[in-house]
Chain A
């Protein structure tokens, strides 16, 4: 099993550009989520999904869009990148909400100039 695969690992964008961060898991997990990690702020939830076709907003959803057309994939789209979106992004999955461990992707370091 590959676990949670995130691509790309690094990305530099210009302000106003759009891009998609990819996240895929092969563990048949129902719950998938995106977080951003900023110095002094810890990890914050952007969007999450409890199953295919179902998504919802987290703490910091503005400027980001998600979809969940399959159980395996949960891409995060930056609609018009801003310097404030410079961060490290992590995708994570778990079997379902409750007493199950989370598996994290290796992260994407995004710089918006």
Chain B
């Protein structure tokens, strides 16, 4: 079993839909990171969480330390949100999930 599990692996939705990507981890962490990677592109850090909730524009990230679970939500999704979203648990190193490939159709 991977130390960081993401679900779903693939997600296709229509423009405007509310999107949720889940991340569960089994390691002790100092922080949980959400990253975004567009096709053929680099990796951009979206959020770093150690507790609670953070919001940036249409993106919201939450973490429940007791349950070792984090979610990334996208409100009013748009085709430009199409990307791979990766969660990573930070302890002595980054441990990555497999990524969620999100496709938003117009």
CB<8 Å pairs between A and B, sample of 19: A33-B93, A40-B98, A42-B96, A42-B97, A42-B98, A43-B88, A58-B93, A90-B42, A92-B94, A98-B30, A99-B30, A99-B50, A101-B48, A102-B33, A102-B45, A103-B45, A104-B43, A106-B42, A107-B43
Residues of B within 8 A of A (CB): 30-31, 33, 35, 41-45, 48, 50, 86, 88, 90, 92-94, 96-99
Residues of A within 8 A of B41 (CB): 106-107
For the A-B complex with A42-B97, A104-B42 known, give 12 more contacts whose Cβ atoms are closer than 8 Å. Answer: A33-B94, A42-B86, A42-B96, A58-B93, A90-B43, A97-B30, A97-B92, A99-B31, A99-B50, A100-B31, A100-B48, A104-B45
**Interface residue count on the A side (C-beta < 8 Å):** 22
Taking A42-B86, A97-B30, A99-B50 as contacts, is the C-beta distance between A104 and B44 under 8 angstroms?
Answer: yes
Residues of A within 8 A of B (CB): 33, 35, 40, 42-45, 48, 58, 90, 92, 97-107
Smallest Cβ-Cβ distance to A109: which chain B residue: B40
From B88, B92, B94, B98, name the one whose CB has the most chain A CB atoms within 10 angstroms.
B94
Contacting pair A45 B45 (CB below 8 A)? no
A98 adjacent to B97 (CB under 8 Å): no
